[in-house]
Amino acid sequence: MAPVLHALEEDSLAESVACCTGQHQELLTSILSLFRIVPNYHLHVMAPNQKLASLTSILLTELDKVMQIERPDRVLVQGDTTTAMVAAMAAAYQKIPVGHIEAGVRSHNPLEPFPEEMNRRVIDVIADLFFAPTAVERADLIREGIPPSHIHVTGNTSIDALRQVASLPFSLEGSVLEKLPLRSKPVVLATVHRRENHGEPLINICNAFRLLARRYRNSMHIVIPVHPNPNVNACVHRFLGDIPNVTLTPPLGYQELVALAQCCHFALTDSGGLQEELTWLGKPALVLRNVTDRREAVDAGAATLVGTDTQTIVSAAIELMENGALYQRMAQPREIYGDGNSARRIVDILRNQDAWLPKASTTAITINQAAVQPAA
């Protein structure tokens, strides 16, 4: 949402106010600093081991308060988080129109990813403006009954953010990445955090990483930024904490993550966002999911869906390591998900759709991955 916030700030008719729910505060602080966002609202709704039901109820109450204070013309939500879904619900209860950024993304499996597939479907039932990353999402929205005139293919603002951060100067000195063998051997970036991968699937994934590390003990280094969720953290450290060519790091700041992705040979990931970003960077991705909601990357040959079976993961990684022709086909930079100008397109569409020109001012508020535009 940061690129949209900045695009709104550059519009003479928009006044921006930022609000954070506090989700993953340890990760959020560096993002806010990197993108120069100073929140005006801190909701502090998160708690350790919080259940989705309690999170939803407190978010709905607190976001409703913010919207009553700001009295928005329109609410913008991005993606498929619980914050985004609840912000759309809060807006609906106050009869405020909703625009969905990253609309139409589908895995067509209600349990994978969970609860994200449910969240984004709820948002798209509520919304009246849909900013789809690609024509694939547009087609899915039309099949679900959304009028084509309400859908705009804009690319994804995640590529705007990536393009901006990738262009910034970054020094390895003093960073978590400083001691990694980024130039002496192939480095594999591995991330895993999805709820549906907790338990046995995560054990299978960790076993695959162990086997790969042993096979390529002198010619591969695996780097895993470990997600703070205790279901992930404990398992990853238990299975992988004692392997010399596996480095477990704390969660990386976004600039560090982008730098690592730029340097990596390929990635093993269950992250939806990384699937998009890796295609723009030209880095192959082996997707640790049974289904993917980024079909475009798979269809283009930039990513391969490998699931969570240990041997399937190992076989796919070996082929990518040892089949140079396959690697070269996958390692091509592609603008599948955008060219870095999505936020500007979105703001231009909003200006025309909501007729800002006659108004003296409009305000935008970011709420982690939601934003509201209050009335003048």
Residues marked active site are found at: 80, 102, 116, 193, 195, 227
Backbone angles phi, psi at 21, to 5 degrees: -80, -20
Question: What single DSSP character describes residue 227?
Answer: -
Q: Could you tell me if 24 and 55 are in contact, meaning their C-beta atoms sit under 8 angstroms apart?
A: no
The amino acid at 305: L
C-alpha to C-alpha distance for 108 and 296, rounded to whole angstroms: 14
DSSP class of residue 251? P
Q: Is 309 helix (H, G, I), strand (E, B) or coil?
A: coil
Kindly list the distances between the CA atom of residue 349 and the CA atoms of 131, 167, 344, in Å, as whole numbers in the listed order: 9, 27, 9
Q: How far apart are CA 91 and CA 116, in angstroms?
A: 19
Which tokens is 307 given? 């699931």
H/E stretch holding 364 reads strand 362-367
Q: Cα–Cα distance between 56 and 83 in angstroms, integer? A: 8
Cβ atoms 133, 337 nearer than 8 A: yes
Sign (positive or negative) of CA dihedral 81, 83, 84, 88: positive
Place of tokens 């910034």: 168
